Amino acid sequence: MKRYLAMLVLPAYLFGCSGSNPFTPEVTPVVAPVVPGVVTEDTAVTVPAAVANDLTRLVYDPVAMTLTVEGITLDELPFSAVYTRKAALDRPGYEAYTAQDDPLDRHSTAYVAQSRNEGAVRAGVVVTGGPRNRFFGGGYFERDGDYTPPAVTPTTGLVTYAGDYLGLTNLRGDGGDLLAVPAGTPEELIPDQSAEITGDVVFQADFADNSVEGNIFNRVLVDTGTALPSIVLISTAIDANGTFTGTQIEYDQTNFDGTPFPAENVVGSDIGDYAGVFGGTNASGVAGVLHLTQFDGPNDVALGTDAEEEYGVFVLDQCGQPVEDAICAGVNP
């Protein structure tokens, strides 16, 4: 069962405007009954409905560079659709794939990645553009094998993961991957391409008390270079099977110029959900996805927009592994 969401898009020529709301008027979404979640190939892993949304499954082969997507409404035929590899759209850490059946059909963008050391975890997000006042999207993650956490001793068990972040939004991107529409096509029939957000992630896990938390920072709207507020993944529990479900995401208290946002505007103000899974020997990798119901800061300080949404993905390697992120240089392995 799919959930339909309002597609409120930002015309490309209005990006960067301030002091006004460039979105179209908000339309009340039609919401289908909430499903319990999506079971992945590893039967111990379920992607919660809050982040899976319209996406049922991703089948990603990083060697063959193929991606099959199940469940995104109106993306392609059949229900299980093979997306096209688009290396020109790749962002740091993530491969891009797209689908558009003809120039007047919706355009879908997907980004996926696999952990680099053992390849035990994978994750991705898919988002369609408009038109017709709605967008469709969701996230997916999976693991190969069982959950094997690191040993907990007086000097081990507190672990840091780091890497790249990629988000897809319900804002209109540059349209560079759209099929050309016939001359004279009415504006309301022309599809959109989802705008992307890039960033960095530091994710920390305490396997002694089975809890996680994280930061996503250096967030930038790719098409315009607009800086966006950092966000924090508020601590949540690691389940016995190595999965976690976080029901609270907040803006970080630090503003763009280094001064803090007023605490009352961010602390306790929930802007989304996240979930993920650990995998590999001693939990060498972690993969997760999130859904934000806003992302441009308290009082819309970054873009001046309302009702912006984002589906994001992070696939990270543990610091101290043979392949690790540069930020791990400042972390005790």
Tell me the C-alpha distance between 267 and 280, whole Å.
34
Nearest to 193 by CA among 52, 99, 68: 99
Structural domain boundaries, residue 211: 5-330
Tell me the C-alpha distance between 79 and 144, whole Å.
24
List, for residues 28-61, the tens digit of each pLDDT value: 333 333 334 555 656 578 999 999 998 999 999 9
Look up the CATH number of the domain holding residue 116. 2.40.160.90
Tell me the C-alpha distance between 269 and 250, whole Å.
6
Query: In total, how many domains does the chain have?
Result: 1
The pLDDT assigned to 38 comes to 54
Is pLDDT above 60 for 9? no
The pLDDT assigned to 315 comes to 98
Q: What is the pTM of this model?
A: 0.85
Share of the chain above pLDDT 70, in %: 82
The pLDDT assigned to 80 comes to 74
Is pLDDT above 50 for 67? yes
Give the pLDDT band of residue 23 (cuts 50, 70, 90).
Answer: very low
Strand pairing category for 194-206 and 80-85: unpaired
Compute CA distances 95 → 58, 91, 162, 166, 179, whole Å.
13, 7, 18, 10, 20
Give the pLDDT band of residue 294 (cuts 50, 70, 90).
Answer: very high
Q: Residues 6 or more apart from 43 whose CB is under 8 A from it? A: none
List, for residues 127-182, the tens digit of each pLDDT value: 998 777 878 899 999 999 999 999 888 777 889 999 999 999 999 999 999 999 99
> What are the structure tokens assigned to 114, written together?
């696999």
Beta bridge partners of 2: none
In 10 A of CB 40, how many CB atoms? 20
Q: Residues 6 or more apart from 80 whose CB is under 8 A from it? A: 68, 69, 70
Contact 54, 25 (CB under 8 A): no
List, for residues 279-291, the tens digit of each pLDDT value: 999 999 999 999 9
Contact 51, 290 (CB under 8 A): yes
